[in-house]
Structure 1
Amino acid sequence: MQKVVVFMPSFAGGGAESVTLALCGGLARNHFDVHLVVGTGDGELRDSVPDDVSTCDIGASRTAYAIGGLLRYLRRERPDVVISAISHANIIAAFAVKLAMCRCKLIVVHHNTTSISTRRTLRRRDRLVPLLCGIAYRLADRIIAVSAGVADDLARSSHLPIERIQVLPNPIDYARIRELSRDAARQDSVPCGDGPLLVAAGRLEPQKGLDTLLRSIAQVESPCRLVILGDGSLRAELLSLVENLGLAGRVSLPGFVANPYPYFRQAQVYVLSSRWEGLPTVLLEALAFRLRIVSTDCPSGPSEILSGVQGAELVPVDDPGGLAAAIERAISAGPLGTVREEWREYDSALVIRQMCEVVHELSHGD
């Protein structure tokens, strides 16, 4: 049985972390010996590790400090393949694999539009990420981007040959999502007012543009209610904005919710207000429901996912008026009659089979 080590920084409740755990479970079901290594065991998803995946917490308070622990782990365990996700972790994994000299193959999975995320960061060291990715990713045996837009941006910003980058989307376990959606949503977290329910989900960080979403809701004249699922550093600021805009009776922020899918099933409209993405997992998940979708046309992912999709509309980034008008149209159109078929190309069975082929190819390459 081939041994596969998957490395990620933590169990933070983000989309990249969620799909990495889904990948671990999929590989294990396909008869790989999967070991998940995390820089720190903290985070909302720590109880979501699949039962057939072992876990090792190397106790690094920051991803940059994980290289020593990961290096020792690789020398001891000597895996056949290492898979890394999220750019900072990918850089650490590339140098750890090189220094370990254990002949294992490395797959790096890139999830975000790096040129924008690094340009908007306030931390100087993060602005070095494109340069470091360009150096580290050349050490990888396979570079995977989760969307064509991410691949193009990575090639440009890190000066990598585009032909070295393979596009493979995030795996979404739609059967599991539909099963979980049958649970009851916490009604105390849903506003009690009139009108259809709108839902948004994501980390409460500047990337997600939730301030724009709140300003757009203040302009929507049709009765509606909004639930924003997630937590983050902007929570207090967003709650203050809810009060200042007079939205206290229409908007709730219940925090991180381990199972958001009952809210998806109950809602009429899903709204994504992000300023940038890679391949937004929540949009892929929304395809499993009879939800009308309103999304910013941010780089990258939404236009790839929603092009030609029934009941979906793209609007400019940071445009509260345009977002409000699109939400009005989605409300007026009423519930979507049927579930779309576009979800099939992102189904975990298909995507994980493709990843299994990559792992087999690399592990038998020598």
Structure 2
Amino acid sequence: MKLRVVFHTPSLRGGGAERVFALMANAMAARGHQVTLFTWNADGPNLALLSDQVQLVSLDMPIRGEGFGKAATLRGIWKSARYFRRTKPDAVFSAPEFANLTTALALVLSRSRARFFPTYHAANSLPSSNLGARIAIALSRIVAQRATRAVAVSAGVGRDLVARGLPASKIAVVHNPLPPAQPAKRDYPWHAAAQAMGDGPLIVTAGRLVQVKDHKTLLDAFARLASRRPARLAIFGEGPLESELRAYADQLGVSKRVLFPGYVNEPAAIYQAADLFVLTSTSEGFGNVLIEAMAHGVAVVSTNAPHGPREILADGRYGALVPVGDADALAAAIAETLDRPPPRELLMSRASDFSVETIAAQYEALLR
């Protein structure tokens, strides 16, 4: 049955949830549904991923810093309610947490009868340490009441949702999809910059330059490694901590061996150049970058962050897991993996478990 399906994310900036929704919108449209990607601001690199089969609707609201501001958020909720009232979708998927809250409120205001699937990408994403977070927790009860099913991107995130009060019967665990394989289409300036750093394997990571990604521990581990063997490090991504991280690399004496190329919207270029991928998050609901690297046959090392990495790497079968924030253990795991990487075929086989086709079938099953 052809359904009117809306995927909503506030913006299309570079992030895991935004990339997942672009891929899922494409896949659901390819399966014959009438699909709309509804956003408050369509600017961002993930817009380039969207298929011509998917309708794009944007409220064109300006982003200030990392968000929209309180007054603009209230206007966005009201405009979203008007959109849902006018278009009468059969199903609405939303992400990340902020969008789950605003979408639930908009659906209630619009009196929409659409099935609602709030999607949770982060572990323990609503700490109760301040007034704003406590208000968000209270509002999350509206999300739980309005939701048809809550989609958790890992079993661990699902357990977090149960701990927060969502009924287990309302939670569906659906992992994030692996983007379709595409070879890198061109060389980037950072290719030459990486070669200019000298000899040694190229260690890479990719993600927002924010606290939760804990790039400082990666830099600490790299400094230990680089004192014993030639190596290079490339930290891909954008974010508010870039200048601080550059200064820290300089403080550690490794700045000439560390590259900050910014955000690259062609992940294949990163993985094709990499000898090893490292993820150092303190919390990671899933960990899309791990399966992307593995799909290219690149060995991975990850912190045992709650919750995705352990599930993806099957308790360490497909890549080393180290304690969060432990630079010594991370440096040792990187050295060990560089010397004895897992077979490429094993990594690529595991990554195929998360194909777009497999995950899209699970999304579609929710609609039944």
Tell me the equivalent position of 2:6: 5
Shift of residue 95 of structure 1? 1.6
CA distance in 1: counterparts of 2:35 and 2:259, whole angstroms:
39
CA distance in 2: counterparts of 1:46 and 1:29, whole angstroms:
17
The reply on whether 1:92 has 2:99 as its aligned counterpart is: no
Shift of residue 334 of structure 1? 5.2
Aligned length: 353
What does the per-residue CA deviation read over 1:118-147, in whole Å, with 9 as the maximum and x for residues that have no partner? 368xx7424543332233222111111010
Tell me the equivalent position of 1:203: 208
* Structure 1 range deviating more: 77-86 or 94-103: 94-103
Q: Which SS does the other structure have where 2:169 is aligned?
A: helix
The reply on whether 1:344 has 2:352 as its aligned counterpart is: yes
> Relative to structure 1, is the Cα distance of residues 161 and 335 closer, same or farther in structure 2, using a 3 angstrom cutoff?
closer
TM-score under structure 1 normalisation? Answer: 0.91
Contact 2:148 2:170 in 1 (8 A): no
> Relative to structure 1, is the Cα distance of residues 334 and 163 closer, same or farther in structure 2, using a 3 angstrom cutoff?
closer
CA distance in 2: counterparts of 1:212 and 1:67, whole angstroms:
39
CA distance in 2: counterparts of 1:338 and 1:197, whole angstroms:
20
Q: Which SS does the other structure have where 2:295 is aligned?
A: coil
Write the mapping of 1:184-203 to structure 2, written as runs, cut at 5 A.
Answer: 184-185=187-188, 186-190=190-194, 192-203=197-208
Shift of residue 96 of structure 1? 1.1
Among candidates 223, 226, 244, match of residue 233 of structure 2: 226
The reply on whether 1:137 has 2:138 as its aligned counterpart is: no
The reply on whether 1:251 has 2:219 as its aligned counterpart is: no
Tell me the equivalent position of 2:65: none
* Structure 1 range deviating more: 285-294 or 326-335: 326-335
Among candidates 195, 219, 225, match of residue 214 of structure 1: 219
> Relative to structure 1, is the Cα distance of residues 168 and 293 closer, same or farther in structure 2, using a 3 angstrom cutoff?
same
Shift of residue 311 of structure 1? 5.1
Shift of residue 3 of structure 1? 1.0
Contact 2:310 2:316 in 1 (8 A): no
Contact 1:198 1:226 in 2 (8 A): yes
Contact 1:284 1:343 in 2 (8 A): yes
CA distance in 1: counterparts of 2:313 and 2:185, whole angstroms:
25
CA distance in 2: counterparts of 1:336 and 1:189, whole angstroms:
29
> Relative to structure 1, is the Cα distance of residues 333 and 31 closer, same or farther in structure 2, using a 3 angstrom cutoff?
same
> Relative to structure 1, is the Cα distance of residues 103 and 308 closer, same or farther in structure 2, using a 3 angstrom cutoff?
closer
Shift of residue 211 of structure 1? 0.9
Residue segments in structure 2 that go unaligned for 5+ positions in a row: 63-67
Tell me the equivalent position of 1:321: 328
What does the per-residue CA deviation read over 1:19-56, in whole Å, with 9 as the maximum and x for residues that have no partner? 11101000110011111111222323233322211111
* Partner AA of 1:292 in structure 2: A
Tell me the equivalent position of 1:150: 157
Tell me the equivalent position of 1:52: 53
Contact 2:318 2:342 in 1 (8 A): no
CA distance in 2: counterparts of 1:318 and 1:127, whole angstroms:
28
* Structure 1 range deviating more: 59-68 or 145-154: 59-68
* Partner AA of 1:243 in structure 2: D
TM-score under structure 2 normalisation? Answer: 0.90
CA distance in 2: counterparts of 1:260 and 1:343, whole angstroms:
15
CA RMSD of aligned residues (A): 1.9
Tell me the equivalent position of 1:364: none
CA distance in 1: counterparts of 2:134 and 2:258, whole angstroms:
35
Contact 1:36 1:54 in 2 (8 A): yes
CA distance in 2: counterparts of 1:297 and 1:49, whole angstroms:
32
The reply on whether 1:102 has 2:109 as its aligned counterpart is: no
Residue segments in structure 1 that go unaligned for 5+ positions in a row: 362-366
Among candidates 72, 78, 100, match of residue 88 of structure 2: 78
Tell me the equivalent position of 1:118: 127
